[in-house]
């Protein structure tokens, strides 16, 4: 009997993607499980695109309360879910899946995660009137939504492909305008907040080759890349005396709603959790 009860109380979740080996989500969720004394586990499972639908159909059978979804499944996961949060629909992508009354639900917590990370790491950031954002992919979309929601009046969006920046800017309306990197030195003069949403500067990728020489002295610099913990952009910003926020906060905070949905407790992003994940990033050469 005891065994039946404990088996029923044991909760499981996971992260799926392809590749998935380097995901730090298990480190985060298993820390919270232990910290809160919850009987459960969070694994990483390699799922190829052709296997996604069958994987979702097998969630209950696998005893999974839900999962995080990462590249390349974020768009397809949203399509396959029966219920979607407004923000997942807005971003056209899901990163968090769970069951409600036996039906698959999808959310996107990236935008929320970014907002919460700046609240924690750079309080007062939302006094910014003008932001300069590098990159026009999925991460950029979530971050621009957070900036506008929190009252940033105007976002200058810079992307290698100006066409892609224009496409994204159009989705947001007149508070977002698109440019190429050639306009960066000029736009930096008026920026209260500068955000890198590209993967440039990540370990193993090309560096983000921009000079901050013309950036407004009071500007906050934020980079969503967290391997290395201190990117070239963050180093340059620090050397110029800017307030900075690294990318680890977004990773940690985007995980909170999923944990709450699967395990029934809203966890906190504490210095202890941060130290564990930072240690892991450093071990990986970051």
Could you give the residue numbers annotated as active site?
A: 74
CB of 161 to ligand ATR, least distance (A): 3
Is 207 a residue that touches ligand ATR (CB under 6 A)?
Answer: no
Report the residue number, 140 or 267, with the smaller CB distance to ligand ATR: 140
DSSP 54-109: HHHHTTTTTTEEEEEE-TT-HHHHHHH-SEE-HHHHHHT--SEEEEETTEEEEE--
Task: Establish whether the linkage from the previous residue to 228 is cis, with ω within 30° of 0.
Answer: yes
Read off φ and ψ for residue 172, nearest 5 degrees.
-95, -15
For residues 127 and 118, the answer to whether their CB atoms sit within 8 Å is: no
The stretch among 9-17, 19-27, 45-53, 159-167 that binds ligand ATR (CB under 6 A) is 159-167
Is 137 a residue that touches ligand ATR (CB under 6 A)?
Answer: yes
How far is residue 184 from each of residues 171, 176, 210, 214, 250, measured CA to CA in Å? 22, 15, 8, 9, 24
Is 159 a residue that touches ligand ATR (CB under 6 A)?
Answer: yes
CB of 21 to ligand ATR, least distance (A): 18
CB of 9 to ligand ATR, least distance (A): 37
Give the residue, chosen from 161, 211, 214, 218, that forms a contact with ligand ATR under the rule CB under 6 A. Answer: 161
Q: How far is CA 157 from the centre of its chain?
A: 18
User: Whole-angstrom Cα distance, residue 110 to residue 142?
Assistant: 6
CB of 8 to ligand ATR, least distance (A): 38
Is 136 a residue that touches ligand ATR (CB under 6 A)?
Answer: yes
CB of 160 to ligand ATR, least distance (A): 3
- The 3-state DSSP class for residue 78 equals helix
Is 138 a residue that touches ligand ATR (CB under 6 A)?
Answer: yes
Give the residue, chosen from 35, 164, 183, 243, that forms a contact with ligand ATR under the rule CB under 6 A. Answer: 164
Q: Which residue is nearest to ligand ATR (CB)?
A: 137
How far is residue 239 from each of residues 213, 270, 281, measured CA to CA in Å? 11, 27, 23
For residues 69 and 97, the answer to whether their CB atoms sit within 8 Å is: yes
Per-residue binding string, ligand ATR, 85-114, x by CB under 6 A, is ------------------------------
Is 198 a residue that touches ligand ATR (CB under 6 A)?
Answer: yes
Is 225 a residue that touches ligand ATR (CB under 6 A)?
Answer: no
User: Whole-angstrom Cα distance, residue 274 to residue 285?
Assistant: 17
How many residues at the interface with ligand ATR, by CB under 6 A? 15
Local structure of residue 127 (DSSP, 8 states): G
Q: Which residues bind ligand ATR (CB under 6 A)?
A: 135-140, 159-161, 164, 197-200, 206
């Amino acid at each position: 009997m005891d065994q039946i009860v404990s088996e029923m109380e044991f909760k499981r979740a996971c992260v799926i993607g392809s590749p998935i080996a380097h995901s730090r989500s298990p480190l985060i969720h298993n820390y919270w499980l232990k910290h809160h004394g919850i009987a459960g586990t969070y694994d990483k499972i390699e799922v190829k695109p052709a296997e996604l639908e069958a994987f979702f159909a097998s969630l209950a059978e696998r005893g999974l309360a839900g999962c995080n979804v990462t590249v390349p499944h974020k768009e397809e996961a949203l399509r396959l879910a029966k219920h979607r949060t407004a923000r997942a629909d807005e971003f056209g992508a899901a990163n968090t899946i769970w069951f409600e009354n036996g039906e698959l639900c999808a959310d996107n917590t990236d935008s929320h995660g970014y907002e919460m990370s700046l609240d924690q790491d750079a309080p007062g950031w939302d006094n910014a009137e003008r932001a300069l954002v590098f990159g026009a992919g999925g991460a950029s979309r979530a971050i621009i939504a957070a900036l506008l929601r929190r009252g940033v009046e105007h976002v200058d969006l810079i992307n290698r492909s100006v066409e892609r920046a224009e496409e994204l800017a159009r989705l947001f309306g007149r508070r977002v305008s698109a440019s190429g990197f050639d306009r960066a030195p000029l736009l930096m003069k008026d920026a209260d907040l500068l955000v890198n949403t590209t993967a440039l500067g990540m370990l193993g990728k090309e560096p983000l080759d921009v000079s901050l020489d013309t950036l407004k002295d009071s500007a906050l610099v934020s980079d969503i890349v967290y391997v290395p913990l201190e990117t070239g952009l963050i180093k340059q910003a620090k050397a110029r005396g800017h307030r900075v926020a690294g990318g680890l906060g977004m990773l940690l905070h985007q995980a909170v709603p999923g944990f709450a949905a699967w395990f029934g407790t809203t966890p906190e992003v504490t210095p202890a959790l941060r130290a564990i994940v930072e240690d892991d990033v450093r071990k990986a050469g970051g």
